[in-house]
Amino acid sequence: MKINSKQYLYLLILTLLIPYCIFAGNKDTCFQALKKDQKKLLSIAKQLDKYDQDNYYYTLPLHNRNYNFDSLQEWEHSLKNINYHCDNQLRKMQYDFNAYPCIPNIYYLKALSLFYVKDYRQAKDTYATLLQKYVQDTTFLIEIMCRYINCTYLMGEYEQASLMLDTLTCQYDSSLLMNNLPYLFTATDLYLEWEQWDKAIPVLQQLLGTPISYALKTRVWFILGQIYENQKQYDNAIEHFKIVSGRNVSSVNMRSYAILHQHFCQLDKEKHYQDSIEQEIYKLNHPTPPTFEPSIVESSSEHNNFENQYPYYFNDLASMFFFEDTEDDLDDSTYLDDIEAEEMSAALLDSIFENWDSISIHIPRTDFSTMKDTLYLPLVGPGYQLPKFNSLVSKFGWRKRRYHYGVDTKNQMYDSIYCVFDGVVRIAKRNRTYGNLVIVRHYNGMETFYAHCSKLLVNPSEEVKAGDVIALVGSTGRSTGPHLHFETRYKGTPINPEFIIDFENNKLRSDTLLICKETFSLKKTSGTTHTSTGNTTGSGSSTYYTVRYGDTLSSIAQKYHTSVSNIKRINGLRSDFIREGQKLRVR
């Protein structure tokens, strides 16, 4: 078939145009099919922030990401469809990556859809793929890095996320970072998580100058108010809460709490001013008293006066170390000599008040790895009842990459938290990891920690009894929900609480804790093997004897087929002296 010149020209143009259209079409239109999905995802993301459930009892994060898809199933389905469309498009392109420059955009859209559906692990892996293969532009690289760090943070890997943020901060110029919204968002939430207020404030202030939404800007004002309130900068806090209360916010609760915080800041400001004046007046009228040094009590009358002044040294088993009290005058042979009495007083003080610190959470740990002796630590006396614990949801031991030095119990918000043994409060304050925390030093030298509380009901140096309500359950600090984190430590070193308490049956495993170097082995993660002897008071295997007139340790030991040294050991006796009416454990 012959063709004329006009037909030949058409055929030539078509031959040249078809390959160009195919190649150009791949370049320009490969992402067009997903443009609708991109628009829908951004719309859903904007709406999801409105469904955050804020807890105004602690400093708000910039983004909660705690929306519940049970009531938002349609949006969840849409997000999963977007992820499915992205996967389909990527499968079609897998044989010709270079011909499709829109691939990074598809991966980015896929990662966002996974992020908003809370599949942070898959989103993090997708961002990692982008970083390894496709990202060249510095601004885009910083954004992807920040989103990668945010996924790490939301997965609960706080230390790793914080380390990556520090690396990013050191790697790039601050002017470049402070103009990058994903960086500002990520840095803010991490600094707030660690309660690094001095770092959080300039980032939040920078956010106020960026084109963020009206609602988010209001949230920034509120968070700044909370930070200033925590730092006792009441004037700044009041100013910020006033701004929030005067704005038209979608969250009625935020406006109400802003007014409430403003009121409390004003009261705290007045109280702080009044306290400072009273403190100065008190210092002028009351010179600093000399440091109290307890000494042995030589008589019943001195003992009574001493107990009235310093009640927290008494009413427990350890008080026997201070003195041996008698109702009637006895001859000198019944009293302990002065040297031994001084040694016992010092021993008790070393045990109870060693490394006493009302500021630092953790006291220096004692190294028990070379311990050769066995220590018998008395826990309670007859009639003791363990306060109620709920069931365990997390045990002592390794948890992912971090060691869990206590146990977590299942609780509801604002449940009562009870003190386990008699003692004195060493710490009652907020910590970035433990949240609101109470630490009680007990009379045998052991300490118990009660963490993540919503409200503290005791103060440092306050005497507490077993069963006293010392705080309310909360979710402050590094916590994913309301629960009680409970620790037991001796001389700063953690002990598995299940060695001491049978949580399943809510009772002590023994009234005496046997301590050796194996007690502190961090390999043990359950309470099935414990370093205690005997059973809980009242279980029948611990036997007590009330001393009668004429009894000696030797006669009591012979009667119960034991030794004098064993009776002295399990009762913490430093001499052979006993008195009528005294209760001794003999088995």
Q: pLDDT tens for residues 137-152?
A: 788 889 899 999 999 9
**Alpha helical stretches, state H, 319-446:** 338-353
Decide if 533 contacts 512 (C-beta within 8 A). yes
Closest Cα partner for 453 from 470, 432, 440, 437?
437
Query: Which of the listed ranges 62-76, 84-98, 333-347, 433-447 does the model predict with the highest average pLDDT?
Result: 433-447
Distances (CA, A) of 194 to 153, 190, 516, 556: 11, 6, 36, 58
Confidence of residue 529 (pLDDT cuts 50, 70, 90): very low
Q: Position of tokens 């001013």?
A: 273
The predicted structure's pLDDT at residue 121: 92
> 106: which 2 tokens?
């598809």
469 pLDDT more than 80: yes
The whole-angstrom separation of Cα 334 and Cα 351 is 26
Mean pLDDT value across residues 18-32: 46
325 pLDDT more than 50: no
Our CA angle for 173, 179, 180, nearest 5°, is 95
Dump strand ranges (E) for 491-554: 493-495, 501-502, 507-508, 512-515, 532-533, 544-546
Query: Does the CA dihedral 199-201-206-212 come out positive or negative?
Result: positive
Mean pLDDT value across residues 553-577: 78
The predicted structure's pLDDT at residue 5: 56
Between 509 and 320, whose confidence is greater?
509
Domain boundaries, the chain: 1-30, 213-289, 290-353, 375-533, 543-587
Between 374 and 110, whose confidence is greater?
110
343 pLDDT more than 50: no
The set of residues, in sequence order, having a beta carbon less than 8 Å from that of 457 and lying 6+ positions away, is 469, 470, 471, 472
Q: Position of tokens 């008195």?
A: 579
The predicted structure's pLDDT at residue 437: 94
Mean pLDDT value across residues 440-450: 91
Closest Cα partner for 420 from 441, 398, 396, 395?
441
> 455: which 2 tokens?
């409200």
Distances (CA, A) of 583 to 181, 307, 535, 565, 568: 70, 20, 18, 16, 12
Query: What type of residue sits at position 581?
Result: G
The predicted structure's pLDDT at residue 352: 60
The whole-angstrom separation of Cα 203 and Cα 61 is 13
The predicted structure's pLDDT at residue 484: 94
The predicted structure's pLDDT at residue 215: 86
Average pLDDT score over the chain: 76
> 528: which 2 tokens?
């099935």
Between 176 and 288, whose confidence is greater?
176
Does the global pTM surpass 0.85?
no
> Does domain 543-587 fall into CATH 3.10.350.10?
yes
The whole-angstrom separation of Cα 451 and Cα 434 is 5
Residue 125, class by beta-carbon neighbours within 10 Å (0-12 exposed, 13-18 middle, 19+ buried)? Answer: middle
Decide if 409 contacts 486 (C-beta within 8 A). yes
Distances (CA, A) of 495 to 206, 375, 404, 452, 464: 45, 14, 11, 19, 22
Closest Cα partner for 378 from 495, 512, 286?
512
The predicted structure's pLDDT at residue 98: 52
Strand, coil or helix: 577: coil
Decide if 124 contacts 155 (C-beta within 8 A). yes
Q: What is the pLDDT of residues 478-503, one digit of tens each?
A: 887 889 999 999 888 899 999 899 89
Kindly report the number of other CB atoms within 10 A of residue 150's CB atom: 25
> 248: which 2 tokens?
């038209």
Query: What type of residue sits at position 8?
Result: Y
The set of residues, in sequence order, having a beta carbon less than 8 Å from that of 175 and lying 6+ positions away, is none
Mean pLDDT value across residues 330-346: 37
The predicted structure's pLDDT at residue 513: 85
Q: What is the pLDDT of residues 42-67, one digit of tens each?
A: 888 878 877 777 777 678 888 888 77
The whole-angstrom separation of Cα 146 and Cα 67 is 22
- The residue length of the chain stands at 587
Between 304 and 474, whose confidence is greater?
474
532 pLDDT more than 90: no
The predicted structure's pLDDT at residue 30: 58
The whole-angstrom separation of Cα 357 and Cα 447 is 12
Q: What is the pLDDT of residues 73-85, one digit of tens each?
A: 888 888 888 888 8
Mean pLDDT value across residues 373-389: 83
The whole-angstrom separation of Cα 81 and Cα 273 is 59
305 pLDDT more than 60: no
The set of residues, in sequence order, having a beta carbon less than 8 Å from that of 232 and lying 6+ positions away, is 268, 272
The whole-angstrom separation of Cα 120 and Cα 161 is 13
Confidence of residue 425 (pLDDT cuts 50, 70, 90): very high
Dump strand ranges (E) for 96-207: none
> 146: which 2 tokens?
């920040």
344 pLDDT more than 80: no
The whole-angstrom separation of Cα 32 and Cα 43 is 18
Kind of pairing between the strands at 463-464 and 423-431: antiparallel
297 pLDDT more than 70: no
> Does domain 375-533 fall into CATH 3.40.50.170?
no
Secondary structure string (H, E, C) spanning 28-50:
HHCCHHHHHHHHHHHHHHHHHHH
91 pLDDT more than 70: yes
Q: What is the pLDDT of residues 211-259, one digit of tens each?
A: 888 888 999 999 999 999 888 899 999 999 999 988 887 666 788 888 8
395 pLDDT more than 50: yes
| Largest pairwise CA distance in the chain | 142
Kindly report the number of other CB atoms within 10 A of residue 288's CB atom: 6
Our CA angle for 34, 37, 38, nearest 5°, is 90
Between 566 and 318, whose confidence is greater?
566
Confidence of residue 353 (pLDDT cuts 50, 70, 90): low
Confidence of residue 19 (pLDDT cuts 50, 70, 90): very low
Q: What is the pLDDT of residues 27-43, one digit of tens each?
A: 445 566 677 888 888 88
Between 7 and 401, whose confidence is greater?
401
> Between 158-171 and 181-193, two packed helices, what is the crossing angle to 10 degrees?
130
405 pLDDT more than 50: yes
Kind of pairing between the strands at 397-399 and 407-410: unpaired
Between 549 and 567, whose confidence is greater?
567
> 417: which 2 tokens?
């938290």
The predicted structure's pLDDT at residue 224: 95
Kind of pairing between the strands at 532-533 and 493-495: unpaired
538 pLDDT more than 60: no
DSSP secondary structure code for residue 382 in this structure:
T
The predicted structure's pLDDT at residue 401: 64
3 pLDDT more than 80: no
Percentage above 90 pLDDT, the chain:
20
The predicted structure's pLDDT at residue 162: 87
Query: Which of the listed ranges 96-105, 437-446, 553-562, 570-579 does the model predict with the highest average pLDDT?
Result: 437-446
> 514: which 2 tokens?
């046997």
Query: Does the CA dihedral 165-167-173-176 come out positive or negative?
Result: negative
Percentage above 70 pLDDT, the chain:
75
